A and B are shown apart, each in its own frame.
Chain A
Amino acid sequence: MTTAVAKKVSVATSPSLEISRETALHWLEQMMLIRRFEEAAEYAYTQKKVGGFLHLYIGEESIAVGAVAAMHPDDDIFTHYRDHGWVLARGVDPKPAMAELYGKATGLVKGKGGSMHFASVKHHMWGGYAIVGGHIPLAAGMAFSHQYLKRDRIAFCVMGEGATNIGMFHEALNMAALWKLPVVFLIENNMFGMGTAVDRASAVANIYEKASAYRMPATRIDGNDIELVYTTIQEYVNRARSGEGPQMVEAMTYRFKGHSMGDPQRYRTKEEVENRRPDDPLNRWEKKLIERGWADDALIKETFTRVDKQVAEAVQFAEDSPFPDPSELYTDILVEE
């Protein structure tokens, strides 16, 4: 664990906050829900019910679940297109989420956005964005509004490590630091931007070190350790909220599936992927709960059963929902005035 700035930053090396059994089980259920939701989405894709791009979050769930738990419910999240986990972690109903993947009228954004553009404003989930880096200044702008309007909210910006190589990232970081905006940048470093390994695309292998150019406190953590995600994000979010300016956390993780559907994955071996399996954040959390005596196999099975039912209902809802009416083509283009 290292920090990138001269300014002293205390870094969580082990969970410092007590987590109740109830919370622990809730996180387990949320991670399971995201996992099963995406497995169902993947299946629906093979059935041609879902189209376009589908970027799965399988293997990275601990980051969204742990981070969302560490924020206030009215803190504002912006993310890239790998967004299913963030939306579900925020407590959005899986039914309209699945319906969005099906391109149905009952979807989160009326079937107009699909997988890459999940959003739910009432959950302070401002959406998934598909142009790499494009949402980073938006999050800074949301933070600007919080600062200007003296609101007690922060903006939370999620991106992959690949996005830290694009100009928009650097422009947004500079402005955020210059104006001390209440924003936390979270880098999900899943080792690849599409097929390009981190060190083939970034001159700086430790992504969090990029923050130091802007004198921004930053740290790197094991993103598959949900408690560590929770405690670290809580600390960084608190700091942003208390007027200390923007913060950055780099969460190390691994993407088990291809970049999107139909990725031939020539850039890594099957063994590499298999070697990462023991690090699966969901399995790790299950094991930890059993070790602590907070769960047993029966409870885990029971939780999966509950989640499976929820996902099956979401799929059924999506199946049964109507496609958008053709007149929807011309709605929502400009705000009616």
Chain B
Amino acid sequence: MADMIQVTYRDALKEAMREAMKRDENVVIMGEEVGVWGGTYAVTRGLYDEFGGRRVIDTPIAEMGIIGVATGAAMGGMKPIAEIMTINFALVAMDQIINNTAKIHSMFGGTMRAPVVIRTAAGWGQLAATHSQSFEAWFAHVPGLIVVMPSTPYDAKGLLTTAMYSQNPVVFIEHSRLYGEKGQVPQGEFRVPFGVADVKRDGKDLTIVTYSRMVHVALNAANELAKENINVEIVDLRSLRPIDWETVYNSIRKTHRALVLTEDWMTYGISAEVAARIGYETFDYLDAPVERLTQLEVPLPYASNLEKLSFPDEAKVMQQVKAMLA
């Protein structure tokens, strides 16, 4: 294994992009404020100076255009990284993503490819209803896309490197509240494969299936619960399409209890699919119904107190776990 260094989630992502750009002249980054500004979350900071405006391209505010152009360039043999500032703005580009990017390969009988990497940020922070949404399920719903949502700097770099080598379109969803998160990451190129979940904590009493920022909420809660002799296992899905079902099922076959924890809404959300599959595939192993903890089903209000109530937090997770074990 290469030497490990301590880096932030933000810098881990940047390193993966830098390495890809150094390796492959066909890699370009395009998006709003990715160049001179250095990325609104500073993920691309320094890349404009290093690679120049020909390869780190500030675009107009035109999400539909950005994705369409990046997809067309990918069809033309390039390997573009298209940054959509936040996942909320991906709605403007949805037709391109779903009807073009995701379909090019299958609709034309495998004769074409569109290996574009769409990087975008989920997250919230008193940004109100249109700027605080969790849309991962919208993308994960669609055959023809790969959807990943890393929780740690290690996974962020490894998955982005895999995306940079992939021949498929990848929707790479970061989280604005994780950019400062630090962790050990190997120096140089390494890959985390798509469709492989990671057990972030071993336990025997109950499995929390989660991903992205909620992994950290689950870990904090698990550490508290351990003081009360409750041992929670945490499965970080990392990829939402494809999902590593075997790792999920194996964990539940061991613990017999499953809580699905997500930041998106419950109805038709990621937790709906995960809970349904667990219920079907591990029915004989379950000692309790599969439970779900998600964002409340409300358009996110601005007021800080209401916003805080909307999301699962450590206290809610602990309460839910205890209720399931009672």
Contact = CB atoms under 8 A, between A and B. Distances in A.
Interface in A219-245: none
A165 B299 contact: no
A328 B128 CA distance: 14
B303 A167 contact: no
Interface string A102-121: 01110000011110110000
Interface string B99-138: 0000000000000000000000000011111110000000
Contacts of B125: 51-52
Contacts of A100: 302
Chain B interface mostly helix, strand, loop or mixed?
A: loop
Contacts of A168: 92
Interface string A73-106: 0000000000000000000000000001001110
A201 B58 CA distance: 8
B32 interface: yes
Interface in A168-205: 168, 193-196, 200-202
Interface residues of A, number: 41
A168 B305 CA distance: 34
Interface string B288-309: 0000000010110111111001
A162 B130 CA distance: 19
B147 to A, nearest CB: 22
B318 interface: no
B296 A52 contact: no
A326 interface: yes
A330 interface: yes
A330 B297 CA distance: 8
B298 A195 contact: no
A132 B296 contact: no
A324 B64 contact: no
A130 B306 contact: no
A217 interface: no
Given A114-B126, A162-B61, A165-B61, A326 B306 contact: yes
A163 interface: yes
Chain A interface mostly helix, strand, loop or mixed?
A: loop
Interface string B17-41: 0000000000000001100111010
A123 to B, nearest CB: 20
Contacts of A323: 303-306
Interface in B57-98: 58-65, 88-89, 91-92
B301 A329 contact: yes
Nearest to A327: B306
A130 B299 contact: no
B310 interface: yes
B305 A103 contact: yes
Contact of B129 (A112, A163, A328): A112
Contacts of A148: none
A113 B301 CA distance: 6
Interface string A306-337: 00000000000000000110101110010000
B92 A114 contact: no
A197 to B, nearest CB: 9
Contacts of B126: 51-52, 103, 114
A6 to B, nearest CB: 27
Contacts of B37: 194-196, 264, 266-267
A15 B14 CA distance: 53
Contacts of B60: 162, 165-166, 193, 196, 201-202
Given A52-B127, A103-B126, A196 B58 contact: yes
Contacts of B62: 165-167
Interface in A267-321: 267
A105 B304 CA distance: 11
Given A103-B126, A112-B128, A333-B299, A195 B33 contact: yes
Contacts of B64: 166-167
Most A-side CB within 10 Å, residue of B40, B63, B126, B128: B128
Contacts of B309: 326, 329
A196 B33 contact: yes
Contacts of A116: 128, 131
Contacts of A256: none
A317 B307 CA distance: 22
B284 to A, nearest CB: 38
A131 interface: yes
Contact of B88 (A111, A131, A163, A202): A131
A133 interface: yes
Contact of B36 (A130, A133, A162, A267): A267
Contacts of B130: 129-131
A193 B127 CA distance: 19
Contact of B302 (A103, A131, A167, A266): A103
A86 B126 CA distance: 22
Nearest to B310: A329
Contacts of A200: 58
A53 interface: yes
Nearest to A105: B303
A167 B65 contact: yes
B36 A196 contact: yes
A329 B296 contact: yes
Interface in A132-170: 132-133, 162-163, 165-168
Nearest to B64: A167
Contacts of B302: 51-52, 100, 103, 111-114, 117
Given A131-B88, A324-B306, 10 more contacts: A51-B304, A103-B301, A117-B128, A132-B61, A133-B92, A165-B62, A167-B65, A193-B60, A196-B37, A329-B298
20 contacts: A52-B127, A103-B126, A105-B303, A112-B128, A112-B306, A114-B302, A131-B91, A132-B61, A132-B89, A162-B61, A163-B61, A166-B62, A166-B63, A166-B64, A194-B33, A196-B37, A201-B61, A326-B306, A329-B296, A329-B306
